[in-house]
Amino acid sequence: MKRHPQIAAEFIRDEQRTDWHNKAVYNFRLKRDAMVKTKPEWEELRQLASDIKDNVLANLDTYLEQFEAAAIANGVKVHWAEDALEHNNMVHQILQQHNIKLVVKSKSMLTEECALNEYLEEKGIEIIDTDLGERIIQMRQEPPSHIVAPAIHIKREEVGDLFREKLNTETDNNDPTYLTRAARKHLREKFLNAQAGITGVNFAVAENGGIVIVTNEGNADMGVNIPPLQIHCMGIEKIIPRWKDLSIFTRLLAPSASGQPISIYTSHYFKPKPGGEMHIVLVDNGRSAHLGRADYRSSLKCIRCSACFNTCPVYRRSGGYSYHTSIAGPIGSILMPNRSLSENADLPFASSLCGSCSDVCPVKINIHEQLYKWRQEIHEKGFTPGFKKRILKSAGKVLADPKKLNRMGKWAGKAIKVLPRFLLYNSLNAWGKNRELPIPPKQTFSEWYQQNRKHE
């Protein structure tokens, strides 16, 4: 299995795409900063959101039961799924009971996590992603590379080529408005013919059993309101206690995600349409286990805004696929090792630990500290490669002894100047793969310090 460094190396081979991806993603960060500056109450909102989510995690069982009771009282059918397979089975059974053959789905990271599309397609059910970016990557048979902008890694020209092949659009017409209209026409037909709509859930309100879905394209509303059957799939951590808490989160989510003051559509669903059915599937899939890990628990506060992705210097330059999981970026690197440490032990190392992710997180998750904690745990549990372990052990001995460190520094300074290039730049020197080693100054800092201290 390829790990983050190998997949990232493939991504950065295309320098032009790497630069462009970096700028496109960072542009979200810049817009976020500009919007945050207009909100003097920003830090207060972050603190409130963080406190509310801490309270939710401390009382999750109570809030979930409260939510279930309120939703059932509203006429909603509530289901509980322990893992991805059970979730997929449940959704399939509901669809089967209604003899459904075509489903429209709005963006849901949970259904990506459970691989619902693949599961339903195997059972002969056509499932169409209706968020434009999601539809593009679905047509390309790729997973999303970013939780908010799933097709951020794809260029306009590539979308033009794709639509020419799949939607018969005009030759050489890559105009975004033209392409968007072509997608709208294609999706409209799917909306009108679908027999069921599936959505994710951004927030679920314990006190009234309502769910809230946030989109910029209104596709969730089309998918929920046209077909008679609606199914909403949510992770159990999406609960908020009260209706009045919602405004805190909606004021944080869109500015953090894209620098918008608020998302275009914030839709509320409480009960089935007349003559219709509304189902909510609550999914655990490793969340309870994560809740039990005190060091990482607060990462369940995540509202999937993507701000930590957009600011992360590693994500921006290595692309979403380098994380080889459904949720990439800094938060994915905390959540995914919880699912499988052996498969995801590389991810907490895909970070510079600069802390920018924690600074921008609207619910104040200490992301970089949790990544650092994972690194220690991964090492303790024996997942560090043998070669790296030996290097670190030797480095530890040198760093712990000032005399050795000085000697080593002097030796390395000379070696860089005199050793042939192939001895310095080879497979043992991962750092030097894309960079030149710095030429050391004539005098080391330690020598300079000793000399200057004498003059004090």
Sign of CA dihedral 151, 157, 158, 161: positive
Q: Which is nearer to ligand SF4, 211 or 331 (CB)?
A: 331
Q: Which is nearer to ligand SF4, 60 or 357 (CB)?
A: 357
Q: How many residues bind ligand SF4 (CB under 6 A)?
A: 15
Q: Which is nearer to ligand SF4, 201 or 360 (CB)?
A: 360
Which residues 239-278 are close enough to bind ligand SF4 by CB under 6 A? 256
Phi-psi group of 18: left, alpha or beta (phi > 0 → left; psi -120 to 50 → alpha; rest → beta)? alpha
In whole angstroms, how close is the CB of 159 to ligand SF4 at the nearest point? Answer: 25
Which residues 60-99 are close enough to bind ligand SF4 by CB under 6 A? none
Q: Which range, of 86-94, 192-200, 297-305, 425-433, touches ligand SF4 by CB under 6 A? A: 297-305
Please tell me whether residue 303 binds ligand SF4 under the rule CB under 6 A.
Answer: yes
Q: Which is nearer to ligand SF4, 114 or 307 (CB)?
A: 307
In whole angstroms, how close is the CB of 304 to ligand SF4 at the nearest point? Answer: 5
Q: Which of 66, 169, 267, 306 binds ligand SF4 (CB under 6 A)?
A: 306
At residue 103, the 3 state secondary structure works out as strand
Q: Which is nearer to ligand SF4, 213 or 360 (CB)?
A: 360
Q: Which is nearer to ligand SF4, 220 or 307 (CB)?
A: 307
Helix axes 176-193 and 156-167, enclosed angle (nearest 10): 40
Q: Which of 212, 220, 302, 350 binds ligand SF4 (CB under 6 A)?
A: 302
Q: Which is nearer to ligand SF4, 88 or 356 (CB)?
A: 356
100 with 93: CB under 8 angstroms?
no
Helix, strand, coil shares, percent, the chain, to 5? 60, 10, 30
Say which residues have a Cβ less than 8 Å from residue 320's Cβ, sequence separation at least 6. 144, 145, 146, 152, 153, 309, 328, 329
Please tell me whether residue 361 binds ligand SF4 under the rule CB under 6 A.
Answer: yes
End-to-end Cα distance, the chain: 58
Please tell me whether residue 234 binds ligand SF4 under the rule CB under 6 A.
Answer: no
Q: Which range, of 125-133, 231-239, 299-307, 318-326, touches ligand SF4 by CB under 6 A? A: 299-307
Q: Which range, of 54-62, 174-182, 301-309, 418-426, touches ligand SF4 by CB under 6 A? A: 301-309
Block residue for tokens 């059974």 = 93
Q: Which range, of 19-27, 158-166, 220-228, 360-368, touches ligand SF4 by CB under 6 A? A: 360-368
Which segments within 222-379 are labelled E, that is strand? Answer: 229-235, 239-240, 265-269, 277-283
DSSP class of residue 168 equals: -
In whole angstroms, how close is the CB of 305 to ligand SF4 at the nearest point? Answer: 4
In whole angstroms, how close is the CB of 180 to ligand SF4 at the nearest point? Answer: 26
Please tell me whether residue 362 binds ligand SF4 under the rule CB under 6 A.
Answer: yes
Give the gyration radius of the chain's Cα atoms. 25
Which residues 316-335 are close enough to bind ligand SF4 by CB under 6 A? 331
Q: Which is nearer to ligand SF4, 139 or 363 (CB)?
A: 363
Please tell me whether residue 371 binds ligand SF4 under the rule CB under 6 A.
Answer: no
The Cβ-side half-sphere exposure at 217, using a 13 Å CA radius, reads: 22
- 66/254 Cα distance (integer angstroms): 28
At residue 360, the 3 state secondary structure works out as helix
212 phi, psi to nearest 5 deg: -125, 130
217 with 204: CB under 8 angstroms?
no
188 with 182: CB under 8 angstroms?
no
Block residue for tokens 């979308």 = 159
Among 227, 273, 237, residue whose Cα is nearest residue 110 = 237
In whole angstroms, how close is the CB of 23 to ligand SF4 at the nearest point? Answer: 20
272 phi, psi to nearest 5 deg: -65, 155
Q: Which of 56, 363, 371, 378 binds ligand SF4 (CB under 6 A)?
A: 363
In whole angstroms, how close is the CB of 150 to ligand SF4 at the nearest point? Answer: 14
In whole angstroms, how close is the CB of 315 to ligand SF4 at the nearest point? Answer: 10
In whole angstroms, how close is the CB of 148 to ligand SF4 at the nearest point? Answer: 9
Q: Which is nearer to ligand SF4, 88 or 256 (CB)?
A: 256
Q: Which range, of 110-118, 221-229, 262-270, 356-364, touches ligand SF4 by CB under 6 A? A: 356-364
Q: Which is nearer to ligand SF4, 68 or 112 (CB)?
A: 112
Which residues 22-61 are close enough to bind ligand SF4 by CB under 6 A? none
Structure tokens at 402: 């000032």
The Cβ-side half-sphere exposure at 375, using a 13 Å CA radius, reads: 14
Sign of CA dihedral 291, 88, 223, 218: positive
Q: Write down how long the chain is.
A: 456
**What is the binding site for ligand SF4 (CB under 6 A)?**
256, 302-308, 331, 360-363, 365, 367
